[in-house]
Amino acid sequence: MSVMLATITAEPIDEAVVRGSVETPRSGAVVLFCGIVRDHDRGRGIRRLDYQAHPDADRLLAECCAEVAESSGLRVAAVHRIGSLEIGDVALCAAVAAAHRREAFDACEELVERIKHSLPIWKRQYFDDGISEWVGL
């Protein structure tokens, strides 16, 4: 079990770096999840998003990764972006490496769910009609 990467960044996320941080010659499977900024939400067009993080977000992301690494015994990594993101940008990238695909899929799903429910990062959506709203406050 190992947390290979757990960080919050304002820079674009390099998916290859996240994947490469968990992959080893023993890896028969690497599951990589990328949460992408989409152009719609609940039937409304989206222009862009802003993400803001609590000062403890880095520590809490590391805790989420450590919990999944410990419970699964696998190598895990996650990077969450903050700041202004455009349609198509990667907001979250998580990776898990395992000997077999099922355990990698299961652990990656658990990691993403923990991050989504535990991480104090807030999203502001900017709609096509000029209105914006905070999500998850």
Q: Tell me, what's the pLDDT at 109?
A: 98
- What are 63-81's pLDDT values in tens digits? 999 999 999 999 999 999 9
Cβ atoms of residues 61 and 135 within 8 Å: no
As a whole number of angstroms, the distance between CA 32 and CA 21 comes to 11
Selected from 3.90.1170.40, 1.10.10.410, 3.90.1640.30, 3.40.190.10, the CATH number assigned to the domain covering 2-128 reads: 3.90.1170.40
| pLDDT at residue 13 in the model | 98
pLDDT band at 129 (very low <50, low <70, confident <90, very high): very high
Give the pLDDT confidence of 1-51 residue by residue, as tens digits.
699 999 999 999 999 999 999 999 999 999 999 999 999 999 999 999 999
Locate tokens 């990656």: which residue? 108
Q: Residue 43: how many CA atoms within 13 Å on its side-chain side?
A: 0
Find the mean pLDDT for residues 91-105: 98
Separation CA 132–CA 97 (nearest Å): 38
For the chain, give every domain's residue range: 2-128
Work out the pLDDT band at 97, boundaries 50, 70, 90.
very high
pTM recorded for the entire structure: 0.95
